[in-house]
Amino acid sequence: MKGFVALEDGAVFEGKGVGIAGEREGEIVFNTSMTGYQEIMTDPSYKGQIVTMTYPLIGNYGVNTEDVESGGPKVEGFIAREFSKITSNFRAQDSLLNYLEKHNIIALEEVDTRALTKHIRAKGAMKAVISTVDHDKESLVAKAKASQNIVGRDLVKEVTCGAPYVFDEASPQSSPSSPKVVVMDFGVKMNILRMLKKVGCHVTVVPASTTAENVLAMHPDGVLLSNGPGDPEGVPYAIQEIRKLIGTIPIFGICLGQQLLGLAYGGKTYKLKFGHRGANQPIKELATGKIYITSENHGFAVDLVSIAGQPVRATHVNLNDNTVEGLEHELHPVFSVQFHPEASPGPHDSYGLFQKFKETMEGFTGNKR
């Protein structure tokens, strides 16, 4: 069946629909990863977005029940040059085409993804509509223009957990005496929880709306502020609670968690032209000069100038555009990174940050439980 993706600036790209018939709206973005399509589709940070894969062949190694980052796909739509009709991998439990259909994902192939990606790079990420039921280009562009804007929108409430829970996936490194971490779930990826367990932490996940008082009442040794979708300014309730936590307990922020910390410091965030989405972003650690290759998925960043008067320093920068990729408080045990140290998909260069967080909790001499 014929399908289209129409952008708010009037550009329309034609392709072939696979999976289900239908229509969705979202922000059109691209991801440069060669693998990891199942992790990308299930990453809650992609809520509200139509994802274009730049690698031309997607789906050749199939899907399984292990390589997921949440309870199911969160993307609004999925686009590739070609979806593999052949599945060949010893871990595969199903084909990607079946997975798309089972989870009601609207997807297009035979799209000129190179042209689409170049258009996004030149014009920026923007509102779009993906459809296999409406073939009128003018109608689709009008729908794209009228669709919801991601700026200022609270997408976190659509992906956070409904109630606190203990992440009890088996890990030989964890024990009843492990440091207790409360994860504020703004759209947390499963591999963040797995990595915390791997370094020996007891992990409890709480909804994004949990108050600072309720977090501290759980007597944790540290708080992790997770990744998540959309504009950090769209979740002011989280910012005010994070502000209360600073100085009381060790805090580690990842991706949206860093942006929320930046706002809690009194700073500002801004929307990137087309964002950072892929598994090959070069990040420089300023203290050592070491270069990490990292996985990223974000469309906003902290304005470093806006927090110049605060006791906060940059620890990492992106070598592609010099955006701030890491922050650390100079008075309190609070640090954050904009990239994804848990990867999934992506390189494992930054796994050590989870061990750093554990050691920070163990060395904290403030209020103990």
The residue from 25, 109, 241, 342 that is catalytic is 342
Question: Is 219 part of the annotated catalytic residue set?
Answer: no
Identity of the amino acid at 206:
V
> What sign has the CA pseudo-torsion 268, 273, 279, 280?
negative
Please name which of 95, 78, 79 lies closest in space to residue 87, comparing C-alpha atoms: 95
C-alpha torsion angle, residues 269, 273, 275, 280 (rounded to 10): -120
Question: Is 169 part of the annotated catalytic residue set?
Answer: no
The residue from 255, 298, 316, 329 that is catalytic is 255
Identity of the amino acid at 51:
V
Question: Is 201 part of the annotated catalytic residue set?
Answer: no
The residue from 202, 276, 298, 340 that is catalytic is 340
Identity of the amino acid at 282:
P
Give yes or no for a contact between 268 and 300, defined as CB atoms under 8 angstroms apart.
Answer: no
> Hey, which residues are catalytic here?
255, 340, 342
